[in-house]
Every structure is written in C-alpha cells, then in structure tokens.
Amino acid sequence: MNNKKVISLWPYLLILAILAVLVSYGTGNNTTTFNYNEFMNKAEKLDFDKVEMSMGSTVIDVSGTYKQGKESKSFKVSVPNTETNVKWLTETLSKNKDTVLTTRDPNQESFLMKFFINVFPYLLLAGIAIFFFTKMNSGGSNKAFEFSKSKARIEGNIKVRFKDVAGCDEEKEEVKEIIDYLKDPKKFTDMGARIPKGMLMVGPPGTGKTLLAKAVAGEANVPFFSISGSDFVEMFVGTGASRVRDMFKKAQQTAPCIVFIDEIDAVGRQRGAGMGGGNDEREQTLNQLLVEMDGMGENKGIVIIAATNRPDVLDPALLRSGRFDRQITVNLPDKKGRYEILKVHARNKKLAPDCSLESLAKRTPGFSGADLENVLNEGAILAVRDKRKMITMEDLDEAIDRVMMGPAKKSRKYTDKEKRLVAFHEAGHAVIGIKLEDADMVEKVTIIPRGEAGGYNLMTPREEKMMPTKADFMAQITGLMGGRVAEEVVFDEISAGASNDIQKATKIAKAMVRSWGMSSLGPIQYDDGTGNVFLGRDYGSGSNYSGEIAYEIDKEIRKIINECYERAKQIITEHIDLLTLIADTLIEEETITSEQINNLVKYGTITSPEDALKKQAMANDVEQQIQADNEAAQEVLHDDIQHYDDTPSSQDEEKKKQEKVSFEEAMKELTKSDDYDETKE
C-alpha cells in the first residue's frame, strides 16, 4: 500500500524538484549588472579574467568575469557602440595580459540557435509539467474538464427483438412506424409525413418500457443512446444544459439512432413548481432539452424515447405536439400476456413436466414482467437449494409466495391460541371467497407467517375485467372484512391482524366515493385525480370541496364499510360449520390449496371420494405386488432348500470315490486270473 502511494506521488515530487532548481538557478545567479557610468568609473580598477564583447549595431554587450580577492564574479554591461567606446573598451579590457578577450558578432548567430539557447529549455519544462498533470488527471476520477460531456451510453448491434418482448402486442404495433422510418425514411418524406420526434412510454415499474425501446433499436438496427434523467443534473451550474447539447450533437453524428431517456421526470418536472420557485439548474436543463428538440428538425433520423411512471408531474411544454408527439401506455399484462412473458423467461429454465405456465399465469394477477421473471428465478434458486435437477411446480408456488409476501418465517412459533386465531381469520376470508358470488376466488390459504403477516390468503379474480363495477368493489371489501368478522363471531374479540385488510378496504371505499361516484353523493369527483402527491404542486393546495361535503364523504365511506361488514358477518354466521372445518384443517395441515378447499366444501375432507378410491386402488395394487413378490421369494427359497437336500454331502462323495477305487482294483485282479478267460469265452 505504501509503495502505491509513493508511485502516485512521484510526478508531483519531480515537478517540485524542477521548480526548486529553476528558483535556485534564478536566485543563485551572482551576476552583477553595471550601468554605463558605473562601469566607466570602475573598469580601470577591476582585474578582468574572461570578457566577451557582442558588437551590436548601436550597443556593445559586454559580459564576463573579474577577480575580487580570491573570488571570481560575473558581470555584464551595455555600452553605446561608438568608435571612442570601442577603442576604450579594447584598451581597458586588454591591459592585463592574462585577460581572455573575445569579440563576437551577434548577426552571425542564427535565430534557431538563439531560440534553443534562450527559449527551448523553458518550453521543455512546461511541456513536461503539462504531460504529468494530464496523466494524473486521466488516470483518476478528477476529470474536471469532462463535466459538460454527456453520460449517454451508446450501444450498437442490439440483440433484443420483438420476440423478446411479450405481453404488449398493442404497444409494439404503435412503434412499428418508427422502425419503418429508421429503415427507410424516404417513403415518409415522399408522402409528406412527419415522423414523431419523441415518444413517451408511461406505465408502472417493471412493465418493460426500457426493453421495448431496446427492441425498437434492435429491429431497426440503429445505435441506441441510453441515459437517465438524473445523469443530466450535477452540482455545477450549467452542467445539465451542456450535457444535453453534447448528447444531441453526438446523436446527430450517428443518425439514424434512438436516444432513450429513462426516468425523464427527474429532469422534466413542471417548471416553477418547487419549494421557493424550484430548482433553477434542473429547469435550465429542461429548457435546453426543449430547445434541442425544437431545433432537431423534421425527419433527421433521430427519435427520442422517454420513459416514466409519473406522467402527472411532467411539464406541459414537454408533452405538446412537435416534441413528445406520441404517448404509449405500457400497462400490467393480462393473463394471456403473463403466459407469453413466462414463456420468454422460461426458455433457459429446466422445468419439470408437472410445471404449467398457464396455471402460473392464472395465479399471478397484477404481476409485472419483472415480477414474473423474478418468480421463475426464485423457483430456480429454490431447486438449486434443494439439489434438484429440475424446477417443480412446488418451487414456483413457493416462489410466488416469496415475491408477494417474502420468505416463510418457520422459526416464528405461535401459541395454540394464536394459531387458532390466525386459522379462523384466514378461514373467514376463504368462506367469503367461496360463498360470495362476486368475490375473488381462493387459490391458497396458509397460516405460516410471511413478512409482517401472520397468515396469507391468495385470492384471484374470477375473471380479469377492464371496468369493474360497484358490485365488484363491494364484494372485494366484503372479502377483506371476512377475517375480522370471523374473529368476532368465533372468539368474541378482535386482533390487530386485520390492519392491512382495513387499510385496503378503506382505500377502495374512498375511491368509490371521491373518484368513481359510487355513492349517494352522485357522479361528482371530489379529488384532483393526480394520484401521488407532487409537493411542488400539491403542497398547500386546499381541497376543492367544503367542510360540509367532507363530512358527507366520511359518512358515505363509513356506510360502505359497515354495509360490507354486516354482509360478511351474515355469510360467516350462516356457514359457521364450513368456517370451523376449514380452520381445523388449517391447524392440522397449515397450508391448503384451492382443490383441497373445494373438497372440503363438497365432501368435508381435503381429498375427494374419487381421489380416495384411486389412492385405495393404488394401495391395493402395491399390497398385491408385495404379496406376489413375497410368494415368488418363498418359492425361490424352497427350491434352494430342495436343491441343497438333493446335493450329496462331502462324506458321501468320499465314500463313493473309495468304492470306485476298490472296484477298479478288483477288476484288475480278475482279469489276471484263469477264471476270467473261461468266463470271457
């Protein structure tokens, strides 16, 4: 570490040493400069050693050394060039025989020689200093002269295509003209058409706005400039505007191209809307962006694509015609779009045969493209963690829960009372979802803690609607009240577990009254409809209704909540047996699926009779197979025992061998006797 510090400091040390030498050279020069009169008075008394006279046209430059005691000192003087002075100097300087006198004609010296002698050493030192300073600045982060340069990253040969962007077919249709224009602009100019200079992509985070912009560049095969809105603004005044100019200059040099500005709301917010008048530096940057877009000209081969999820805070001048002409809304995908997105992200995943992407798309309403990619990635991580070769449906099911609610906290232990309370709370949501026609369907219920929630109830819409009705919202609020109602009906007390349910229900009720006109107050909007608060614009702005109307709004919100609460209480009371059955099953199983819940409703058990018969048949087949295997094993064992019994022992074998030897010996003796010959005949 110390060596690196020394290496980084040595250029500074070298420069300081050079400066010290120059200073010491300048201050250590003991040359005495005489004026003309002074030299005339002292010349007779000086003992000259070496003297040089440079004969100019009007002046004689005399320089050299003289002795003063034991020291030798330098001197120089300028004497008018007259015949008398030349004679006097020659006599005076030559009076001592040891003096070396040299006469030089300055006209004989070349200009180049003078330059090298007098100027070049200083230029050389200055060049060395500049070189070292440049090296030090370029090697580190002290790029003081590059603040005005654009930070846009240029990418060529983009590999992303429309096939990599799923779930936004209508959005891709909107940008096809841009691709045709970048490929062949002549057919547009011949028709007199002006291609949009800018396109603004609006949508929730993670819906694929940046990916779609890259796909446009990939399909058109043009360079892709990408920059964030926050990259324009720095602490130095004027930096943002200069970076905008530099970015458009580079874009013009590489046209046709696409310039993509992500999170443009960071620099394109309404001017004059900040606290105390706004940020002047940001507004200057926005002004420069507007000017550059106006000065870009028509059909110049440059298309500006910007993305934001806060279009309500953008300056109106940015959205007028001639700048960002076209606004494309990239919404959350529907069921079909989610299925297509899952297929794109599953191309490099090893999925088990039981994995159904269509079922996964059905269970993930409200998920963005980024969320769906995260689900598949979490499933792959879980499969690797459990050392499996393929991703199973159980991994994906767990991945959905992790993305929505966080990992399961199995280490957190309930008391028996808390476990029963949570089970009935979640069962209350499930009963409302089962028995209320317009309520969301129950997909999964668990009492395993996740995140801040003690339990988790996954409910999905029966069908995804573009325009939900009042009945849909009322059913949704009723379903949210189901858990709290179940606690009150069964335990005659309430817990804090319903806080999130109450928050969601109140938000829906407020929107019904203030925004959608679904109350007795009539079709009147009592909020500004701007969504998130923009402090620079909304801070300090009063409500657009009176205090009396505010009281009526509160009454209507309370009326909606109370009505849904009573409806949920009626349903829970009528189906208390189903509530108890689901809760007891949750206490035992901890997690039940929609299929098991349906079996509880129809048959009272988590398995249907058909499934029970199938399981019994499978068990019988297994038992019969085991019995057959046992019988076969017994037969094999019996045969082995019989074979062992039939096999002669080693003693019998030895006895037979002895009997055989005795018989052979008897036959030999018989063949030698006379009786054998007679018998043979």
Per-residue pLDDT at 567: 94
Neighbours of 635 (CB within 10 A): 10
The number of C-alpha atoms within 13 Å of 379 and in the hemisphere containing its C-beta is: 27
425 is in an annotated binding site: yes
Give the strands of the sheet with 441-446, arranged side by side: 456-460, 441-446, 591-593
pLDDT-derived band of residue 145, with 50, 70 and 90 as boundaries?
A: very low
Q: Is 205 assigned to a binding site?
A: yes
How confident is the model at residue 30, as a pLDDT?
Answer: 66
**Residue range 628-651: mean pLDDT, rounded:** 59
Select the more confidently predicted residue: 445 or 638: 445
Mean pLDDT value across residues 265-273: 76
Residue-level pLDDT at 636: 62
**What's the pLDDT at 277?**
47
Task: List, for residues 332-365, the tens digit of each pLDDT value.
Answer: 888 888 889 998 888 888 888 888 888 888 888 8
Residues whose CB is less than 8 angstroms from the CB of residue 431 and which lie 6 or more positions away in sequence, other chains included: 482, 486, 571, 572, 575, 578, 579, 582
Residue 352 has which token pair?
């088990």
* H/E run at residue 556: helix 547-574
With a cut of 90, say whether residue 561 has pLDDT above it: yes
Task: Give residue 22's pLDDT.
Answer: 59
Q: Which of 179-188, 246-255, 316-325, 366-375 has the highest average model confidence (pLDDT)?
A: 366-375
Which residue, 486, 500, 430, 420, is CA-closest to 458? 430
Tell me if residue 426 is catalytic: yes
For residue 27, what pLDDT is reported? 45
* pLDDT at 678 (0 to 100): 43
Map residue 313 onto helix, strand or coil: helix
CA–CA distance, 479 with 492 (Å, rounded to integer)? 19
User: Cα separation of 391 and 378, whole Å?
Assistant: 10
CA distance 511 to 526: 10
Per the annotation, does 429 bind a ligand?
yes
Preceding peptide of 106 cis, ω within 30°: no
Distance CA 278, CA 283 (A): 8
DSSP 588-610: HHSEEEHHHHHHHHHHSSSS-HH
Task: Report the pLDDT value the prediction gives residue 86, as an integer from 0 to 100.
Answer: 79
- pLDDT above 80: residue 627: no
Reported as a pLDDT band with limits 50, 70 and 90, residue 617 is low
C-alpha closest to that of 480 among 514, 503, 449, 463: 503
Reported confidence tier of residue 21, pLDDT bands at 50, 70, 90: low
| Those residues with Cβ within 8 angstroms of residue 83's Cβ, 6 or more apart along the chain or in another chain | none
pLDDT at 680: 41
501 is in an annotated binding site: yes
| Whether pLDDT at 51 is above 70 | yes
Burial class (CB in 10 A: 0-12, 13-18, 19+), 416: exposed
Domain borders along the chain are 2-125, 153-329, 337-405, 416-531+545-607
Choosing among 1.10.3720.10, 1.10.599.10, 1.20.58.760, 1.10.10.10, the CATH entry for 416-531+545-607 is 1.20.58.760
Task: Identify which has the larger pLDDT, 573 or 105.
Answer: 573
Question: What number does CATH give the domain 337-405?
Answer: 1.10.8.60
Question: Which pLDDT score, from 0 to 100, does residue 681 have?
Answer: 39
Rounded to 5 degrees, what are φ and ψ at 334?
-85, -170
Instruction: Give dist(CA 195, CA 180) in Å, integer.
Output: 10
pLDDT of residue 529: 55
Q: Binning pLDDT at 50, 70 and 90, where does residue 677 land?
A: very low
Q: Which residues of 353-371 are buried (b: 16+ CB within 10 A; e: fewer)?
A: eebebeebbbbbbebbbbb
Task: Give the chain's mean pLDDT.
Answer: 77
How far is Cα 610 from Cα 303, in angstroms, rounded to an integer? Answer: 62
CB neighbours of residue 120 within 10 Å? 12
* pLDDT exceeds 80 at position 520: yes
For 67, the 3-state DSSP assignment is: strand
Tokens at residue 554, please?
A: 């509160």
* Cα 598 from Cα 606, distance rounded (Å): 8
What fold is seen in the domain 153-329?
Answer: Rossmann fold (3.40.50)
In which residue are the tokens 């996964």 written? 360
Residue 278 marked in a binding site:
no
Residue 509 scores a pLDDT above 90: yes
Please, where are the H alpha helices in 162-226? 169-174, 176-183, 186-191, 209-220
Cα dist from 234 to 148, 265, 551, 672, whole Å: 10, 16, 47, 131
Cα–Cα distances in angstroms (integers) from residue 218 to residues 146, 201, 252, 608, in the given order: 30, 17, 19, 53
Least confident of 9-23, 96-110, 217-231, 521-535: 9-23
Q: How confident is the model at residue 637 (pLDDT cuts 50, 70, 90)?
A: low
Which H/E stretch holds residue 104?
Answer: strand 100-104
DSSP letter for each residue of 323-368: TEEEEEE-----HHHHHHHHHHHTTTS-B-TT--HHHHHHT-TT--
Question: How does residue 563 score in pLDDT terms, banded at 50, 70 and 90?
Answer: very high
Q: Which residue has the higher pLDDT, 454 or 588?
A: 588
DSSP states of 394-416 as a string?
HHHHHHHHHHHH-SB-TT----H
Task: Tell whether residue 354 is among the known ligand binding residues.
Answer: no
8 Å CB contact between 534 and 313: yes
**Do the beta carbons of residue 643 and residue 635 sit within 8 Å?**
no
The reply to whether 329 sits in an annotated binding site is no
% of the chain beyond a pLDDT of 70: 74
- Is 210 assigned a ligand-binding role in the annotation? yes
Whether the pTM exceeds 0.85: the reply is no
Residue-level pLDDT at 197: 79
pLDDT category of residue 401 using cuts at 50, 70 and 90: confident
More confident residue, 643 or 53: 53
List, in sequence order, every residue forming a beta bridge with 257; answer none if it has no partner. Answer: 302
454 labelled as ligand-binding?
no
Q: What is the pLDDT of residue 481?
A: 92
State phi, psi for 451 to the nearest 5 degrees: 60, -130
Q: Is 203 annotated as a binding residue?
A: yes
Q: Look at 410-424, 546-560, 574-588 and tell me which has the smallest mean pLDDT.
A: 410-424
Question: In the 8-state DSSP scheme, what is residue 54?
Answer: E
Give the torsion sign (CA, 332, 338, 342, 343): negative
Which pairing describes strands 441-446 and 456-460: parallel, antiparallel, or unpaired?
antiparallel
Task: Find the catalytic residue in 426, 443, 487, 556.
Answer: 426
Q: What is the pLDDT of residue 661?
A: 57
Handedness of CA 187, 192, 198, 203 (dihedral sign): negative
Q: Which residue has the higher pLDDT, 588 or 527?
A: 588
